[in-house]
Amino acid sequence: MGLLDGKKALIFGVANDHSIAWGIAKALHEQGATIGFSSIAEVAERRVKPLAESIGSTFVEPCNVQNDAEIATVFEKWQAQYGTLDILVHSLAFAGREALSGKFVNTTRDQFHLALDISAYSLVALTHAALPVLHAGSSVLAMTYYASEKYVPNYNVMAVAKSALEACARYLAVELGPQGVRVNCISAGPIRTLAASGVGGFRTMHGKFKEVAPLRRTLTIEDVGNAAIWLCSDLASATTGEVLFVDGGVNVLAIAAPEEDGA
């Protein structure tokens, strides 16, 4: 018996088998959920279809979340095929590469708009389009990062986007709460995905992470998937508007110092 038997999930943001969205898809599938996917057209056909097939999924639709018409089409197709939606997963982000290095003060208006549109507004757009298929007991999950709260070198405009994403999740949680729809975020520590490895200094940061993390290890997409099972299941029936850290305990540290004699 699975914790998600009979539930139907639509997952945005798989790029490849290293994607956090794929870790979530595998985990939800193992608990009995039926999974559908939506990814940007460039990867949907070639990368996502084979992964989807490996867990018995037939729903793979292209969507650039900057485009309202494409978003509407995905949910129309979902409604036609499945009627309702129990779990909506938002696992995507983008900022121009140039905005993720150098000084934050140099962020342009265009870089700011692009990052906030794709990484934060898209949660509102997807949830809005999903309203006709959501019902009491459904849940929405988005992926965030601790730089929304505290300075992380080079994360720059993405930090602003993650703060906005978390605020969007809180507003959606309050508005959809009366309908029995929950909205939460998982704040994951650094994981070597496509998006993360495209970032200067990530390797060093990832290496340091396991020296300072209370759990003394790096994180996996399976760690995130396991947390997603709980948040998307009826076991989390009273949790909404929340940010759940899946970061080996790093967010509780005031000073990220490697182990010495005592600790």
Catalytic residues: 145, 155
Let me know: does 12 contact 59? Beta carbons within 8 Å: no
65 binds ligand NAD (CB under 6 A): yes
Minimum gap (Å) between residue 144 Cβ and ligand NAD: 6
Q: What's the rounded Cα separation, in Å, for the pair 179 and 138? A: 9
Task: Name which of 97 and 135 has its Cβ closer to ligand 0WE.
Answer: 97
Residue from 37, 124, 25 nearest 77 by CA = 37
Tell me how many degrees the CA angle 55-221-190 measures, rounded to the nearest 5: 155
Minimum gap (Å) between residue 88 Cβ and ligand 0WE: 19
- The residue at minimum Cβ distance from ligand 0WE is 198
**Binding letters toward ligand 0WE, positions 68-107, x by CB under 6 A:** -------------------------xxx-x--x-------
Interacting partner of 66 out of ligand NAD, ligand 0WE, none (Cβ under 5 to 8 A depending on kind): ligand NAD
Q: Biggest alpha carbon distance in the chain?
A: 61
Strand order across the beta sheet in which 139-144 lies = 60-62, 34-39, 8-12, 87-90, 139-144, 182-188, 243-246
Residues of this chain that interact with ligand 0WE (CB under 6 A) are 93-95, 97, 100, 145, 152, 154-155, 158, 190, 195-196, 198-199, 202
